[in-house]
Amino acid sequence: MTNTPNILLIQADQMGAHALPCYGNQVVQTPNIEALTEDGVVFENAYCNNPICAPSRFSMMSGQYTSKINAFDNAAEFSSDIPTFAHYLRSGGYQTYLSGKMHFVGADQLHGYEERLTTDIYPGDYGWTPDWKNPDDRVDWWYHNMDSVIEAGPCERTNQIDFDDEVEFHGVRKIYDIARSDDDRPFFLTISFSNPHDPYACPKEHWDRYNHDSIDMPNAGYIPDKKMDPHSRRLRHAYQQHPTAVTKEQIRNARHAYYGQISYIDDKIGNIRKALYDTGFDRNTLIVFTSDHGDMLGEKGLWYKMSFFEESVRVPLIINAPGAFSGGRVSTPVSLVDLLPTFLDITCSKYLNNTADSLDGESLVPLLKGEFDPLERTVISEFFAEGSIAPCFMIRQGNYKYIYSKPDPPQLYDLVKDPGELQNLASLPEYEKIEKNLKERVFAHQDTEALHQVVLKSQSRRRLVFKANMEGRRTSWDHLPTRDASSQYMRNHLNLNEVESRARIKSKG
């Protein structure tokens, strides 16, 4: 692989690492994702930096923590002056394209991509702004509830299937179009799907791949509120989960459909890789597969994301570059902010040691090469959205995970001895030093009191702006892709023989 490889970033939505065979799942069928691991590197302990869609993606693209860039929730604007990996790569000579979801909020719907091939599945305005001043209020026209679980099952079409079919089509077609073009720049292509995000509904074809009775149930069933942490209790209230909200069969249906949705995405990954092979790009394309966050999927009686428990915050991260790396499996904790410096390192970018902002991530290249990594890597994840009433922080360092939010009791887990995170070690005398060190790490990371006020002011401003913008004439910020068909296919200002010759990509073999 040369110093200027093509880069293909494939991102799923709400796909937890725990749901994939390469991370130990014995039920889910993902042969195409598994194929990426055969000559790729699997990061066993990769985390998102905020367990909700938009903030996770903004931090990933900028290489900065969400508190630094004010990416507080799914209605937080991603400021146009923040450089992303698309900006850096484009400035370094790459052509940059996005097919699918990135949940940009604000008038800028490109953030460094030259071309966006589809619209987004979610709105780009401030309508989904939380309100910490009224934490008990529900907004039923857009927020999660238990219908996704209760109504789970096979289907013919859904909103997300319509979207992801379009994402795949335009992503694959762009690979072929690049191969037929005269643009000799390497490409950076992001293909970002909406599945397996809830609602839990998959095509019947993918539902039928699984024996319903073989679908595994949560390891830790419903834990009563009185034994759960306050944040988890608030999440349950937010999406109306309580002991009688769903039956065991509905839980199994939801997990069955979720697994089917993963297989649906896996099929699309196979089609994307076929396009790389057909065009010869497979020989010099780095493939990165990840997700923006996971899904609790009924563990402890919790659903969706928004939690710092492993099922919600731990994501798959597989980097495939045949013959380039020897890391195999890496247990060192890493996170999505590491992707930007990794891309700069892999491409020998002039910006590697000269980024416009101070990055919070570190290059993964030493780990990819199987080298000794001198860094004592610490993962930080943050949360400021629904279910929280103050800034929330998670520190993963070594075997330990520490969770802090001022209104709530702290949580400390030993992920080696207690992978299910069922025994809170905080406040136990024998763990006092560990807890003290991790708490100090939180306060060194952010002034939590000052940040709380910043979040409140941001929410207030955005709620006012949204209310005003919905009155009278409404101008959408959503990306509206346009197609210039004047030179597509055959037109009378073109030579038919030249059109056919340029468009043809010959079969291999």
Range of 147's domain? 6-371
Assigned domain for 19 exists: yes
Residue 46 pLDDT greater than 60, yes or no: yes
Token readout for 153 is: 């099952």
pLDDT in tens, 114-125: 999 999 999 999
Could you count the other beta carbons within 10 Å of the beta carbon of residue 179? 15
User: What are the φ/ψ torsions at residue 115 (nearest 5 degrees)?
Assistant: -145, 135
- The answer to whether the pTM exceeds 0.75 is yes
* 321 found inside a domain: yes
**pLDDT at residue number 376:** 80
- Average pLDDT of span 12-20: 98
Query: Distance (Å, rounded) from C-alpha 365 to C-alpha 458?
Result: 37
Give yes or no for residue 501 having a pLDDT over 90. Answer: no
Residue 329, beta-bridge partner list: 42
- Both structure tokens of 413: 């887990």
Residue 48 annotated among the catalytic residues of the structure: no
211-220, 321-330, 359-368, 463-472: range with lowest mean pLDDT: 321-330
Determine which one of 22, 48, 53, 202 is catalytic: 53
Note the pLDDT of residue 1.
55
C-alpha–C-alpha distance, residues 95 and 315, integer Å: 27
Residue 457 covered by a domain: no
Stretch 67-81: mean pLDDT, rounded?
Answer: 97
Instruction: Assign residue 74 the CATH number of its domain.
Output: 3.40.720.10
3-class secondary-structure state, position 272: helix
The mean-pLDDT minimum among 272-276, 351-355, 431-435, 485-489 falls in: 485-489
Does a structural domain hold residue 245? Answer: yes
Instruction: Write down the catalytic residue from 18, 48, 87, 103.
Output: 103
- Alpha carbons 273 and 394: distance in angstroms, whole number: 35
Q: Is the pLDDT of residue 141 over 70?
A: no
Cα–Cα distance, 294 to 475 (Å, whole number)? 33
Catalytic residue list contains 53: yes
pLDDT at 137 over 80: no
More confident residue, 324 or 468: 468
pLDDT in tens, 47-68: 999 999 999 999 999 999 999 9
Burial class (CB in 10 A: 0-12, 13-18, 19+), 412: buried
Mean pLDDT: which of 33-42, 142-151, 319-328, 489-498 is highest? 33-42
Which of residues 248 and 142 earns the better pLDDT score? 248
What end-to-end distance do the CA atoms of the chain give, in Å? 23
Mean pLDDT in residue range 402-419 = 97
Q: What average pLDDT does the chain have?
A: 93
With beta carbons less than 8 A apart as the criterion, state whether 391 and 376 touch.
Answer: no
Give me the half-sphere count of Cα atoms (radius 13 Å) on the Cβ side of residue 9: 29
Q: Does some domain include residue 30? A: yes
| Element at 211 (helix H, strand E) | none
Angle among Cα 294, 124, 133 to the nearest 5 degrees reads 75
Assigned domain for 92 exists = yes
The predicted pLDDT at position 213 comes to 96
What pLDDT is stored for residue 450 in this prediction?
97
Residue 342 has pLDDT above 80, yes or no: yes
The pLDDT confidence band at residue 238, using thresholds 50, 70 and 90, is: confident
What the block records as the tokens of 348 is 């020998």
Give, to the nearest 10 degrees, the angle between helix 31-38 and helix 248-279: 50
State how far the Cα of 266 lies from the Cα of 24, in Å rounded to an integer: 17
Q: 275 vs 500, which has greater pLDDT?
A: 275
Cα 289 to Cα 340: distance, rounded to the nearest angstrom: 14
- pLDDT range class, residue 205, cuts 50, 70, 90: very high
Which candidate, 291, 381, 307, places its Cα nearest to that of 19? 291
Lowest mean pLDDT among 70-74, 105-109, 321-325, 407-411: 321-325
Query: How many distinct structural domains can be found in the chain?
Result: 1
For residue 506, pLDDT over 80 is answered with: no
3-class SS of residue 155: strand
Q: If you average pLDDT over residues 398-407, what whole number do you get?
A: 96
Beta-carbon contacts of residue 12 (< 8 Å; ≥ 6 apart): 193, 195, 196, 262, 265, 289, 290, 291, 292, 316
How many other C-beta atoms lie within 10 A of the C-beta of residue 456?
Answer: 14
pLDDT for residue 2 is more than 70: no
**Tokens for 13?**
């939505």
Residue 288 counted as domain residue: yes
Beta carbons of 291 and 269 less than 8 angstroms apart: no
CB 458 within 8 A of CB 104: no
DSSP, res 127: T
With a CB cutoff of 8 Å and minimum separation 6, the contacts of 76 are 54, 55, 58, 70, 105, 458, 462
| pLDDT exceeds 80 at position 364 | yes
**Domain presence at residue 75:** yes
Please report which confidence band the pLDDT of residue 135 belongs to, taking 50, 70 and 90 as the band edges: confident
Output b/e per residue, 276-289; b: 16+ Cβ within 10 A. bebbebbebbbbbb
Kindly state the tokens that stand for 377: 């890597």
